Amino acid sequence: MDHLLIEVTDFQIVGPFTLSVTFEDGVQHEINFEPVLHGYYYGPLRDQTLFNQVMLDAEIGTLVWPNGADFDPATLYNWHKGEGAELAKRAQNWAKIPLESV
């Protein structure tokens, strides 16, 4: 299976934990990140102030946060095709991992 190579070119905060993400091919998706905000990297983003510090890293073509969290742009592109739901399932397990073991 080939890995999609796509870049994020723009975004807007449109609601709590929700971004409108634009990709290099002009496709735009509205993504609610709240279901995946668990675990060591993504859990801190449940703080709305930190979440809203999202930035576009043009060098790597994706969204990044000051705590080091980011998402594969292909995952963002395919979020509505089930990748978001799959990631949310995995995120429930991340919440169970003690921070000391990370």
Residue spans of the domains in the chain: they are 8-97
Average pLDDT over residues 19-33: 98
pLDDT, residue 6, reads 96
Q: Find tokens 């969204």 and name the residue.
A: 63
| CB of 77 closer than 8 Å to CB of 27 | yes
pLDDT in tens, 40-71: 889 999 999 999 999 999 999 999 999 999 99
Phi, psi of 52 (to 5 degrees): -70, -5
Residue 89 pLDDT > 80: no
CATH architecture designation of domain 8-97: 2-Layer Sandwich (3.30)
Task: Give every CB contact of residue 68 below 8 A, 6+ residues apart in sequence.
Answer: 41
pLDDT, residue 31, reads 98
Q: How confident is the model at residue 16 (pLDDT cuts 50, 70, 90)?
A: very high
